[in-house]
Structure 1
Amino acid sequence: MNNSTGMAGEEPVGAPPIRAISFDDVKASLGAGWSDFRARPGFGLFFGGIYMLGGLVILAFLTRIGSPWMIIPLAIGFPLLGPFVAVGLYEVSRRLAAGEPVTRKGVLAEVFHQRERQLGWMAFVVMFIFWIWVYQVRLLLALFLGFKSFSSWDAFVQVVLSTPEGWGFLAVGTVVGAFLASVLFSTTVIALPMLAEREVDFITAMITSVSTVVKNPVPMLGFGFIVGLITLLALLPLFAGLLIALPVLGHATWHLYKRATAPA
Protein backbone atom coordinates (compact mmCIF):
# COMPACT_ATOMS: atom_id res chain seq x y z
CA MET A 1 0.00 0.00 0.00
CA ASN A 2 1.46 3.37 -0.94
CA ASN A 3 0.96 6.73 0.73
CA SER A 4 -1.56 7.85 -1.86
CA THR A 5 -4.03 5.33 -0.50
CA GLY A 6 -3.20 5.47 3.18
CA MET A 7 -0.70 5.93 5.92
CA ALA A 8 0.35 2.34 6.26
CA GLY A 9 3.02 2.22 3.56
CA GLU A 10 5.38 -0.75 3.52
CA GLU A 11 5.63 -0.92 7.30
CA PRO A 12 7.03 -3.94 9.14
CA VAL A 13 4.67 -5.86 11.38
CA GLY A 14 5.59 -5.41 15.03
CA ALA A 15 5.95 -2.81 17.73
CA PRO A 16 8.45 0.03 17.22
CA PRO A 17 11.18 0.74 19.80
CA ILE A 18 10.11 3.22 22.46
CA ARG A 19 12.11 6.36 23.05
CA ALA A 20 12.63 8.28 26.28
CA ILE A 21 10.92 11.68 26.15
CA SER A 22 10.71 14.71 28.41
CA PHE A 23 8.45 17.70 28.97
CA ASP A 24 10.38 19.44 26.22
CA ASP A 25 8.94 16.88 23.82
CA VAL A 26 5.45 17.50 25.19
CA LYS A 27 5.89 21.24 24.77
CA ALA A 28 7.28 20.82 21.27
CA SER A 29 4.40 18.51 20.31
CA LEU A 30 1.80 21.01 21.50
CA GLY A 31 3.59 23.75 19.55
CA ALA A 32 3.67 21.57 16.45
CA GLY A 33 -0.03 20.81 16.91
CA TRP A 34 -0.82 24.52 16.92
CA SER A 35 1.37 25.05 13.84
CA ASP A 36 -0.40 22.25 11.94
CA PHE A 37 -3.79 23.70 12.84
CA ARG A 38 -2.74 27.13 11.59
CA ALA A 39 -1.32 25.60 8.42
CA ARG A 40 -4.58 23.80 7.52
CA PRO A 41 -7.35 25.31 9.71
CA GLY A 42 -10.14 24.10 7.44
CA PHE A 43 -9.49 20.47 8.28
CA GLY A 44 -9.24 21.23 11.98
CA LEU A 45 -12.50 23.17 12.04
CA PHE A 46 -14.23 20.40 10.06
CA PHE A 47 -13.24 17.59 12.43
CA GLY A 48 -13.68 19.79 15.50
CA GLY A 49 -17.13 20.74 14.21
CA ILE A 50 -18.13 17.06 14.02
CA TYR A 51 -17.18 16.64 17.68
CA MET A 52 -18.98 19.85 18.68
CA LEU A 53 -22.11 18.78 16.80
CA GLY A 54 -22.07 15.42 18.59
CA GLY A 55 -22.04 17.18 21.96
CA LEU A 56 -24.96 19.41 21.01
CA VAL A 57 -26.96 16.39 19.79
CA ILE A 58 -26.39 14.63 23.12
CA LEU A 59 -27.47 17.76 25.01
CA ALA A 60 -30.65 18.09 22.91
CA PHE A 61 -31.48 14.40 23.42
CA LEU A 62 -31.04 14.57 27.20
CA THR A 63 -33.14 17.71 27.38
CA ARG A 64 -35.89 16.03 25.36
CA ILE A 65 -36.05 12.99 27.65
CA GLY A 66 -36.07 15.18 30.77
CA SER A 67 -32.55 14.35 32.00
CA PRO A 68 -30.53 17.45 31.11
CA TRP A 69 -28.41 17.03 34.25
CA MET A 70 -26.83 13.91 32.68
CA ILE A 71 -24.93 16.20 30.29
CA ILE A 72 -22.40 16.80 33.10
CA PRO A 73 -21.18 13.20 33.51
CA LEU A 74 -21.58 12.55 29.79
CA ALA A 75 -19.61 15.69 28.94
CA ILE A 76 -16.83 14.53 31.23
CA GLY A 77 -16.74 11.14 29.51
CA PHE A 78 -17.35 12.55 26.03
CA PRO A 79 -13.64 13.38 25.44
CA LEU A 80 -12.96 9.62 25.56
CA LEU A 81 -14.37 9.42 22.03
CA GLY A 82 -12.25 12.25 20.67
CA PRO A 83 -9.26 10.27 19.41
CA PHE A 84 -11.32 8.63 16.67
CA VAL A 85 -12.34 11.99 15.25
CA ALA A 86 -8.63 12.85 15.27
CA VAL A 87 -7.70 10.15 12.73
CA GLY A 88 -8.10 12.65 9.91
CA LEU A 89 -5.92 15.10 11.81
CA TYR A 90 -3.16 12.49 12.07
CA GLU A 91 -3.19 12.20 8.28
CA VAL A 92 -3.00 15.98 7.87
CA SER A 93 0.03 16.14 10.18
CA ARG A 94 1.67 13.20 8.43
CA ARG A 95 1.25 14.81 5.03
CA LEU A 96 2.54 18.18 6.24
CA ALA A 97 5.64 16.57 7.74
CA ALA A 98 6.27 14.51 4.58
CA GLY A 99 5.73 17.47 2.28
CA GLU A 100 2.83 15.74 0.55
CA PRO A 101 -0.27 17.52 -0.78
CA VAL A 102 -2.99 17.90 1.86
CA THR A 103 -6.24 17.37 -0.03
CA ARG A 104 -9.78 16.73 1.13
CA LYS A 105 -10.03 13.64 -1.02
CA GLY A 106 -6.81 12.15 0.32
CA VAL A 107 -7.51 12.86 3.98
CA LEU A 108 -11.12 11.67 3.91
CA ALA A 109 -10.13 8.57 1.94
CA GLU A 110 -7.68 7.69 4.73
CA VAL A 111 -10.38 8.18 7.38
CA PHE A 112 -12.79 5.83 5.58
CA HIS A 113 -9.99 3.37 4.86
CA GLN A 114 -9.42 2.87 8.59
CA ARG A 115 -12.65 0.90 8.93
CA GLU A 116 -10.93 -1.92 7.04
CA ARG A 117 -7.94 -1.98 9.37
CA GLN A 118 -7.15 -2.70 13.02
CA LEU A 119 -8.15 0.78 14.17
CA GLY A 120 -11.76 -0.31 14.02
CA TRP A 121 -11.18 -2.79 16.85
CA MET A 122 -10.02 0.06 19.07
CA ALA A 123 -13.49 1.52 18.78
CA PHE A 124 -14.83 -1.38 20.82
CA VAL A 125 -12.23 -0.75 23.53
CA VAL A 126 -13.03 2.96 23.74
CA MET A 127 -16.80 2.49 23.66
CA PHE A 128 -16.59 -0.24 26.30
CA ILE A 129 -14.72 2.05 28.70
CA PHE A 130 -17.10 4.92 27.88
CA TRP A 131 -20.12 2.80 28.78
CA ILE A 132 -18.41 1.65 31.97
CA TRP A 133 -18.09 5.33 32.84
CA VAL A 134 -21.80 5.99 32.13
CA TYR A 135 -22.98 2.97 34.14
CA GLN A 136 -20.70 3.71 37.08
CA VAL A 137 -22.16 7.22 37.21
CA ARG A 138 -25.65 5.72 37.41
CA LEU A 139 -24.49 3.24 40.04
CA LEU A 140 -22.91 5.95 42.19
CA LEU A 141 -26.03 8.07 41.85
CA ALA A 142 -28.12 5.20 43.18
CA LEU A 143 -25.68 4.53 46.04
CA PHE A 144 -25.21 8.12 47.18
CA LEU A 145 -28.30 10.02 46.02
CA GLY A 146 -30.90 7.29 45.67
CA PHE A 147 -33.00 7.30 42.53
CA LYS A 148 -33.67 11.01 42.51
CA SER A 149 -34.68 12.75 39.33
CA PHE A 150 -33.27 16.21 38.62
CA SER A 151 -35.23 18.62 36.45
CA SER A 152 -32.14 20.59 35.48
CA TRP A 153 -28.36 20.48 35.75
CA ASP A 154 -28.57 23.45 38.16
CA ALA A 155 -30.53 21.30 40.59
CA PHE A 156 -28.09 18.45 40.11
CA VAL A 157 -25.06 20.67 40.77
CA GLN A 158 -26.72 22.18 43.85
CA VAL A 159 -27.34 18.76 45.40
CA VAL A 160 -23.84 17.52 44.56
CA LEU A 161 -22.09 20.58 45.98
CA SER A 162 -24.26 21.27 49.02
CA THR A 163 -24.97 17.87 50.62
CA PRO A 164 -22.75 15.23 52.26
CA GLU A 165 -24.18 12.61 49.92
CA GLY A 166 -23.31 14.82 46.96
CA TRP A 167 -19.77 15.29 48.23
CA GLY A 168 -19.37 11.53 48.54
CA PHE A 169 -20.70 11.03 45.01
CA LEU A 170 -18.32 13.68 43.69
CA ALA A 171 -15.28 12.27 45.55
CA VAL A 172 -15.78 8.63 44.56
CA GLY A 173 -16.82 9.56 41.04
CA THR A 174 -13.69 11.64 40.60
CA VAL A 175 -11.44 8.79 41.71
CA VAL A 176 -13.20 6.22 39.51
CA GLY A 177 -13.31 8.61 36.58
CA ALA A 178 -9.61 9.43 36.93
CA PHE A 179 -8.78 5.73 36.96
CA LEU A 180 -10.84 4.99 33.83
CA ALA A 181 -9.42 8.03 32.05
CA SER A 182 -5.87 6.94 32.92
CA VAL A 183 -6.52 3.42 31.62
CA LEU A 184 -8.00 4.68 28.37
CA PHE A 185 -5.31 7.30 27.86
CA SER A 186 -2.53 4.78 28.46
CA THR A 187 -3.97 2.24 26.03
CA THR A 188 -4.80 4.68 23.21
CA VAL A 189 -2.47 7.70 23.23
CA ILE A 190 0.19 5.92 21.17
CA ALA A 191 -1.98 3.07 19.86
CA LEU A 192 -4.35 5.19 17.76
CA PRO A 193 -1.78 7.12 15.69
CA MET A 194 0.33 3.96 15.52
CA LEU A 195 -2.55 1.95 14.03
CA ALA A 196 -3.26 4.77 11.61
CA GLU A 197 0.32 4.66 10.33
CA ARG A 198 1.55 1.05 10.69
CA GLU A 199 0.27 -2.39 9.86
CA VAL A 200 0.18 -3.83 13.39
CA ASP A 201 -2.56 -5.57 15.34
CA PHE A 202 -4.45 -3.54 17.90
CA ILE A 203 -3.23 -5.64 20.84
CA THR A 204 0.39 -4.87 19.94
CA ALA A 205 -0.51 -1.21 19.56
CA MET A 206 -2.18 -1.11 22.99
CA ILE A 207 0.77 -2.85 24.65
CA THR A 208 3.16 -0.39 23.00
CA SER A 209 1.04 2.53 24.17
CA VAL A 210 1.00 1.32 27.77
CA SER A 211 4.73 0.59 27.63
CA THR A 212 5.39 4.13 26.41
CA VAL A 213 3.48 5.57 29.36
CA VAL A 214 5.26 3.24 31.79
CA LYS A 215 8.67 4.21 30.38
CA ASN A 216 7.83 7.94 30.39
CA PRO A 217 5.22 8.29 33.16
CA VAL A 218 5.73 11.94 34.08
CA PRO A 219 5.71 13.55 30.61
CA MET A 220 3.06 11.19 29.21
CA LEU A 221 0.63 11.55 32.12
CA GLY A 222 1.40 15.27 32.14
CA PHE A 223 0.35 15.40 28.49
CA GLY A 224 -2.80 13.45 29.37
CA PHE A 225 -3.62 15.95 32.12
CA ILE A 226 -3.13 18.87 29.71
CA VAL A 227 -5.36 17.20 27.11
CA GLY A 228 -8.09 16.48 29.67
CA LEU A 229 -8.00 19.98 31.16
CA ILE A 230 -8.08 21.78 27.81
CA THR A 231 -10.86 19.54 26.53
CA LEU A 232 -13.03 20.04 29.61
CA LEU A 233 -12.56 23.81 29.44
CA ALA A 234 -13.47 23.69 25.76
CA LEU A 235 -16.78 21.99 26.64
CA LEU A 236 -18.02 24.92 28.73
CA PRO A 237 -19.23 27.36 26.02
CA LEU A 238 -21.68 24.84 24.52
CA PHE A 239 -18.81 22.73 23.14
CA ALA A 240 -17.67 25.66 20.97
CA GLY A 241 -14.10 25.49 22.24
CA LEU A 242 -13.75 22.06 20.67
CA LEU A 243 -13.55 23.69 17.26
CA ILE A 244 -9.97 24.65 18.09
CA ALA A 245 -9.04 22.46 21.07
CA LEU A 246 -9.71 19.11 19.38
CA PRO A 247 -7.69 19.71 16.20
CA VAL A 248 -4.73 21.24 18.06
CA LEU A 249 -4.63 18.33 20.52
CA GLY A 250 -5.12 15.79 17.74
CA HIS A 251 -2.17 17.16 15.79
CA ALA A 252 -0.13 17.33 19.01
CA THR A 253 -0.85 13.66 19.77
CA TRP A 254 0.51 12.68 16.38
CA HIS A 255 3.73 14.60 16.96
CA LEU A 256 4.15 13.14 20.44
CA TYR A 257 3.71 9.65 18.98
CA LYS A 258 6.45 10.35 16.44
CA ARG A 259 8.76 11.59 19.18
CA ALA A 260 8.06 8.64 21.50
CA THR A 261 8.57 5.87 18.93
CA ALA A 262 11.40 5.08 16.55
CA PRO A 263 10.76 5.47 12.80
CA ALA A 264 9.64 2.44 10.85
Structure 2
Amino acid sequence: MTSERTDAAKQDELAPRKPALIHVNKVTSADIKASLKAGFADFLARPFMSGFFGLFYAVFGILFVWSLVWLNKIWMIIPAVVGFPLVAPFAAAGLYEMSRRLQNGESFGWAQILTVMADQRKREMGWMAFVTLFIFWVWIYQVRLWLAIILQDASFSDFDGFLNTVFFTPEGWIFLAIGTCVGMFLCAVLFSATVVAMPLLLDREIDFVTAMITSLRVVTENPIVMLSWAAIIAVTMLVSLMPAFLGLIFTLPILGHTTWHLYQRAVPPSEE
Protein backbone atom coordinates (compact mmCIF):
# COMPACT_ATOMS: atom_id res chain seq x y z
CA MET A 1 0.00 0.00 0.00
CA THR A 2 2.82 2.37 0.93
CA SER A 3 4.60 1.55 -2.33
CA GLU A 4 1.49 2.40 -4.35
CA ARG A 5 1.15 5.76 -2.59
CA THR A 6 4.82 6.51 -3.22
CA ASP A 7 4.45 5.71 -6.93
CA ALA A 8 1.35 7.88 -7.13
CA ALA A 9 3.19 10.75 -5.45
CA LYS A 10 6.10 10.43 -7.90
CA GLN A 11 3.69 10.48 -10.85
CA ASP A 12 2.09 13.66 -9.50
CA GLU A 13 5.51 15.28 -9.24
CA LEU A 14 6.44 14.26 -12.79
CA ALA A 15 3.09 15.34 -14.26
CA PRO A 16 3.32 18.70 -16.08
CA ARG A 17 1.76 21.52 -14.11
CA LYS A 18 -0.10 24.37 -15.72
CA PRO A 19 1.60 27.67 -14.99
CA ALA A 20 -0.37 29.85 -12.59
CA LEU A 21 -2.11 32.81 -14.14
CA ILE A 22 -0.43 36.12 -13.49
CA HIS A 23 -2.66 38.38 -11.42
CA VAL A 24 -3.90 41.54 -13.11
CA ASN A 25 -5.22 44.70 -11.50
CA LYS A 26 -8.16 46.91 -12.25
CA VAL A 27 -6.99 50.12 -13.87
CA THR A 28 -8.77 53.43 -14.20
CA SER A 29 -8.46 56.61 -16.23
CA ALA A 30 -6.43 57.99 -13.32
CA ASP A 31 -3.84 55.27 -13.99
CA ILE A 32 -3.55 56.39 -17.61
CA LYS A 33 -3.08 60.01 -16.54
CA ALA A 34 -0.47 59.05 -13.97
CA SER A 35 1.31 56.82 -16.48
CA LEU A 36 1.37 59.60 -19.08
CA LYS A 37 2.85 61.95 -16.50
CA ALA A 38 5.51 59.40 -15.54
CA GLY A 39 6.22 58.64 -19.22
CA PHE A 40 6.72 62.32 -20.01
CA ALA A 41 9.04 62.63 -17.00
CA ASP A 42 11.11 59.68 -18.28
CA PHE A 43 11.38 61.37 -21.67
CA LEU A 44 12.59 64.61 -20.08
CA ALA A 45 15.07 62.67 -17.92
CA ARG A 46 16.84 61.28 -21.01
CA PRO A 47 15.49 63.27 -23.99
CA PHE A 48 18.33 62.51 -26.43
CA MET A 49 18.41 58.79 -25.74
CA SER A 50 14.61 58.55 -25.84
CA GLY A 51 14.47 60.68 -28.97
CA PHE A 52 16.98 58.39 -30.65
CA PHE A 53 14.46 55.54 -30.65
CA GLY A 54 11.81 57.85 -32.09
CA LEU A 55 14.23 59.14 -34.73
CA PHE A 56 15.28 55.63 -35.71
CA TYR A 57 11.64 54.60 -36.09
CA ALA A 58 10.82 57.74 -38.11
CA VAL A 59 13.81 57.30 -40.47
CA PHE A 60 12.88 53.66 -40.99
CA GLY A 61 9.33 54.76 -41.91
CA ILE A 62 10.60 57.35 -44.38
CA LEU A 63 12.91 54.83 -46.05
CA PHE A 64 10.12 52.27 -46.14
CA VAL A 65 7.75 54.63 -47.97
CA TRP A 66 10.54 55.79 -50.30
CA SER A 67 11.30 52.18 -51.21
CA LEU A 68 7.64 51.61 -52.11
CA VAL A 69 7.74 54.60 -54.44
CA TRP A 70 11.02 53.38 -55.96
CA LEU A 71 9.54 49.91 -56.50
CA ASN A 72 6.41 51.51 -58.01
CA LYS A 73 4.19 49.91 -55.34
CA ILE A 74 1.99 52.98 -55.13
CA TRP A 75 -1.01 51.08 -53.78
CA MET A 76 0.99 49.98 -50.72
CA ILE A 77 1.82 53.48 -49.44
CA ILE A 78 -1.41 54.20 -47.54
CA PRO A 79 -1.81 50.72 -45.97
CA ALA A 80 1.90 50.70 -45.10
CA VAL A 81 1.68 54.11 -43.40
CA VAL A 82 -1.52 53.17 -41.57
CA GLY A 83 -0.17 49.76 -40.54
CA PHE A 84 3.31 51.04 -39.67
CA PRO A 85 2.36 51.83 -36.02
CA LEU A 86 1.49 48.14 -35.54
CA VAL A 87 5.18 47.33 -35.02
CA ALA A 88 5.74 50.19 -32.57
CA PRO A 89 5.39 48.03 -29.40
CA PHE A 90 8.42 45.96 -30.42
CA ALA A 91 10.38 49.04 -31.46
CA ALA A 92 9.82 50.49 -27.97
CA ALA A 93 11.66 47.68 -26.12
CA GLY A 94 14.61 49.94 -25.37
CA LEU A 95 12.27 52.56 -23.94
CA TYR A 96 10.75 50.03 -21.56
CA GLU A 97 14.21 49.16 -20.29
CA MET A 98 15.04 52.84 -19.81
CA SER A 99 11.87 53.37 -17.77
CA ARG A 100 12.57 50.25 -15.71
CA ARG A 101 16.06 51.49 -14.81
CA LEU A 102 14.87 55.03 -14.10
CA GLN A 103 12.14 53.66 -11.86
CA ASN A 104 14.68 51.56 -9.92
CA GLY A 105 17.18 54.40 -9.69
CA GLU A 106 19.78 52.52 -11.74
CA SER A 107 22.42 54.35 -13.75
CA PHE A 108 22.75 53.40 -17.41
CA GLY A 109 24.21 54.48 -20.70
CA TRP A 110 23.92 53.53 -24.35
CA ALA A 111 25.83 50.29 -23.88
CA GLN A 112 23.48 49.01 -21.18
CA ILE A 113 20.29 49.77 -23.12
CA LEU A 114 21.51 48.48 -26.47
CA THR A 115 22.95 45.34 -24.84
CA VAL A 116 19.62 44.58 -23.16
CA MET A 117 17.82 45.02 -26.46
CA ALA A 118 20.27 42.69 -28.22
CA ASP A 119 19.80 40.08 -25.50
CA GLN A 120 16.05 39.97 -26.16
CA ARG A 121 16.66 37.92 -29.30
CA LYS A 122 17.67 35.05 -27.01
CA ARG A 123 14.40 35.27 -25.08
CA GLU A 124 10.69 35.11 -25.94
CA MET A 125 10.62 38.67 -27.29
CA GLY A 126 11.60 37.29 -30.68
CA TRP A 127 8.37 35.32 -30.86
CA MET A 128 6.38 38.44 -30.02
CA ALA A 129 8.16 40.22 -32.85
CA PHE A 130 7.07 37.39 -35.14
CA VAL A 131 3.45 37.79 -34.00
CA THR A 132 3.62 41.55 -34.59
CA LEU A 133 5.12 41.24 -38.06
CA PHE A 134 2.68 38.45 -38.95
CA ILE A 135 -0.29 40.74 -38.15
CA PHE A 136 1.33 43.48 -40.23
CA TRP A 137 1.75 41.03 -43.12
CA VAL A 138 -1.92 39.99 -42.84
CA TRP A 139 -2.90 43.66 -42.95
CA ILE A 140 -0.93 44.30 -46.15
CA TYR A 141 -2.18 41.08 -47.75
CA GLN A 142 -5.85 41.79 -47.06
CA VAL A 143 -5.46 45.30 -48.53
CA ARG A 144 -4.02 43.75 -51.70
CA LEU A 145 -6.89 41.25 -51.77
CA TRP A 146 -9.60 43.91 -51.54
CA LEU A 147 -7.80 46.04 -54.11
CA ALA A 148 -7.91 43.12 -56.54
CA ILE A 149 -11.58 42.39 -55.82
CA ILE A 150 -13.04 45.90 -55.64
CA LEU A 151 -10.67 48.08 -57.66
CA GLN A 152 -9.62 45.51 -60.23
CA ASP A 153 -10.02 47.83 -63.21
CA ALA A 154 -8.30 50.80 -61.63
CA SER A 155 -4.85 51.92 -62.72
CA PHE A 156 -2.46 53.46 -60.20
CA SER A 157 0.21 55.08 -62.32
CA ASP A 158 1.00 57.63 -59.62
CA PHE A 159 0.10 58.46 -56.02
CA ASP A 160 -2.39 61.19 -57.02
CA GLY A 161 -4.23 58.70 -59.22
CA PHE A 162 -4.41 56.23 -56.36
CA LEU A 163 -5.81 58.87 -53.98
CA ASN A 164 -8.37 60.00 -56.56
CA THR A 165 -9.57 56.42 -57.10
CA VAL A 166 -9.81 55.58 -53.41
CA PHE A 167 -11.38 58.80 -52.13
CA PHE A 168 -13.51 59.99 -55.05
CA THR A 169 -15.13 56.88 -56.55
CA PRO A 170 -17.92 54.61 -55.20
CA GLU A 171 -15.62 51.60 -55.49
CA GLY A 172 -12.97 53.44 -53.50
CA TRP A 173 -15.48 54.19 -50.73
CA ILE A 174 -16.39 50.53 -50.50
CA PHE A 175 -12.72 49.64 -50.37
CA LEU A 176 -12.13 52.16 -47.58
CA ALA A 177 -15.13 50.92 -45.57
CA ILE A 178 -14.08 47.27 -45.74
CA GLY A 179 -10.43 48.04 -45.17
CA THR A 180 -11.24 50.20 -42.16
CA CYS A 181 -13.34 47.47 -40.55
CA VAL A 182 -10.72 44.79 -41.13
CA GLY A 183 -7.94 47.12 -40.00
CA MET A 184 -9.76 47.98 -36.77
CA PHE A 185 -10.21 44.28 -36.03
CA LEU A 186 -6.53 43.50 -36.62
CA CYS A 187 -5.44 46.48 -34.54
CA ALA A 188 -7.73 45.42 -31.69
CA VAL A 189 -6.31 41.89 -31.78
CA LEU A 190 -2.70 43.07 -31.82
CA PHE A 191 -3.23 45.73 -29.18
CA SER A 192 -4.96 43.28 -26.84
CA ALA A 193 -2.23 40.67 -27.28
CA THR A 194 0.74 43.02 -26.88
CA VAL A 195 -0.21 46.04 -24.76
CA VAL A 196 1.46 44.63 -21.65
CA ALA A 197 3.05 41.51 -23.17
CA MET A 198 6.13 43.33 -24.46
CA PRO A 199 7.10 45.02 -21.17
CA LEU A 200 6.13 41.85 -19.28
CA LEU A 201 8.56 39.75 -21.33
CA LEU A 202 11.29 42.30 -20.73
CA ASP A 203 10.55 42.32 -17.01
CA ARG A 204 10.17 38.58 -16.32
CA GLU A 205 11.44 35.22 -17.55
CA ILE A 206 8.15 33.85 -18.92
CA ASP A 207 6.98 32.43 -22.24
CA PHE A 208 5.35 34.63 -24.85
CA VAL A 209 2.04 32.71 -24.72
CA THR A 210 1.66 33.50 -21.00
CA ALA A 211 2.55 37.12 -21.73
CA MET A 212 -0.09 37.34 -24.46
CA ILE A 213 -2.74 35.71 -22.26
CA THR A 214 -1.93 38.17 -19.47
CA SER A 215 -2.21 41.07 -21.91
CA LEU A 216 -5.58 39.81 -23.16
CA ARG A 217 -6.82 39.49 -19.57
CA VAL A 218 -5.76 43.06 -18.79
CA VAL A 219 -7.83 44.28 -21.74
CA THR A 220 -10.89 42.08 -21.12
CA GLU A 221 -10.98 42.98 -17.41
CA ASN A 222 -10.53 46.70 -18.13
CA PRO A 223 -12.19 47.12 -21.55
CA ILE A 224 -13.23 50.78 -21.37
CA VAL A 225 -9.97 52.07 -19.92
CA MET A 226 -7.75 49.99 -22.21
CA LEU A 227 -9.77 50.89 -25.31
CA SER A 228 -9.37 54.53 -24.32
CA TRP A 229 -5.62 53.98 -24.14
CA ALA A 230 -5.72 52.30 -27.55
CA ALA A 231 -7.56 55.31 -28.97
CA ILE A 232 -4.97 57.69 -27.50
CA ILE A 233 -2.16 55.66 -29.08
CA ALA A 234 -3.90 55.44 -32.46
CA VAL A 235 -4.70 59.15 -32.73
CA THR A 236 -1.28 60.24 -31.46
CA MET A 237 0.61 57.93 -33.81
CA LEU A 238 -1.44 58.85 -36.89
CA VAL A 239 -1.07 62.58 -36.21
CA SER A 240 2.67 62.02 -35.71
CA LEU A 241 2.93 60.44 -39.17
CA MET A 242 1.63 63.52 -40.98
CA PRO A 243 4.76 65.72 -40.76
CA ALA A 244 6.85 63.16 -42.71
CA PHE A 245 6.99 60.78 -39.71
CA LEU A 246 8.99 63.36 -37.75
CA GLY A 247 6.41 63.67 -34.99
CA LEU A 248 7.39 60.15 -33.96
CA ILE A 249 10.68 61.49 -32.62
CA PHE A 250 8.73 62.81 -29.64
CA THR A 251 5.51 60.81 -29.46
CA LEU A 252 6.95 57.29 -29.78
CA PRO A 253 9.29 57.68 -26.76
CA ILE A 254 6.57 59.24 -24.60
CA LEU A 255 4.08 56.51 -25.50
CA GLY A 256 6.72 53.83 -24.95
CA HIS A 257 7.67 55.12 -21.51
CA THR A 258 3.98 55.52 -20.65
CA THR A 259 3.25 51.93 -21.64
CA TRP A 260 5.85 50.70 -19.17
CA HIS A 261 4.26 52.61 -16.30
CA LEU A 262 0.76 51.49 -17.31
CA TYR A 263 2.02 47.89 -17.34
CA GLN A 264 3.36 48.39 -13.82
CA ARG A 265 -0.10 49.49 -12.69
CA ALA A 266 -1.94 46.74 -14.54
CA VAL A 267 0.30 43.82 -13.50
CA PRO A 268 1.49 43.69 -9.87
CA PRO A 269 5.13 42.80 -9.14
CA SER A 270 6.08 39.14 -9.08
CA GLU A 271 6.09 37.57 -5.61
CA GLU A 272 9.13 35.43 -6.44
Q: CA deviation at 1:35?
A: 1.1
User: Number of residues paired by the alignment?
Assistant: 252
**In 2, Cα distance between the equivalents of 1:255 and 1:147?**
49
Aligned to 1:136: 142
Question: Quick one: structure 1 residues 102 and 14, their matched pair in 2 at CA, closer, same or farther if it must change by over 3 Å?
Answer: farther
Q: CA deviation at 1:151?
A: 2.6
The answer to which of 192-201 and 56-65 deviates more is 56-65
* Alignment-mate amino acid for residue 70 of structure 1: M
142, 149, 154: which one aligns with 2:155: 149
Q: CA deviation at 1:262?
A: 0.7
CA contact (8 A) 1:88 1:111 kept: yes
Q: CA deviation at 1:98?
A: 0.5
CA contact (8 A) 1:69 1:151 kept: no
What RMSD, in angstroms, separates the aligned Cα atoms of the two structures?
1.2
84, 92, 103: which one aligns with 1:86: 92
| CA deviation vs aligned residue, 1:102-150 (integer Å, no higher than 9, x gap) | 3111111110010110111111111111100000000111111115331
**In 2, Cα distance between the equivalents of 1:92 and 1:137?**
36
- 1:72-111 equivalences in 2 (<5 Å): 72-111=78-117
1:158 aligns with 2:183: no
1:223 aligns with 2:217: no
> Where does structure 2 lack aligned partners over 5 or more consecutive residues?
1-18
102, 121, 124: which one aligns with 2:127: 121
Q: CA deviation at 1:67?
A: 2.4
- 1:109-258 equivalences in 2 (<5 Å): 109-146=115-152, 148-258=154-264
> Please, what TM-score do these two structures have when normalized by structure 1?
0.92
The answer to which of 206-215 and 64-73 deviates more is 64-73
1:71 aligns with 2:82: no
**In 1, Cα distance between the equivalents of 2:39 and 2:22?**
22
CA contact (8 A) 1:30 1:252 kept: yes
> Where does structure 1 lack aligned partners over 5 or more consecutive residues?
1-12
Q: CA deviation at 1:87?
A: 0.5
Q: CA deviation at 1:86?
A: 0.5
Question: Quick one: structure 1 residues 142 and 206, their matched pair in 2 at CA, closer, same or farther if it must change by over 3 Å?
Answer: same
Q: CA deviation at 1:154?
A: 2.3
SS in 1 for 2:82: helix
**In 2, Cα distance between the equivalents of 1:72 and 1:162?**
15
| CA deviation vs aligned residue, 1:189-235 (integer Å, no higher than 9, x gap) | 01000001101100000000000000000111110111011101111
Q: CA deviation at 1:68?
A: 3.3
> Please, what TM-score do these two structures have when normalized by structure 2?
0.90
* Alignment-mate amino acid for residue 228 of structure 2: G
Aligned to 1:18: 24
**In 2, Cα distance between the equivalents of 1:65 and 1:148?**
19
Greater Rg, structure 1 or structure 2? 2
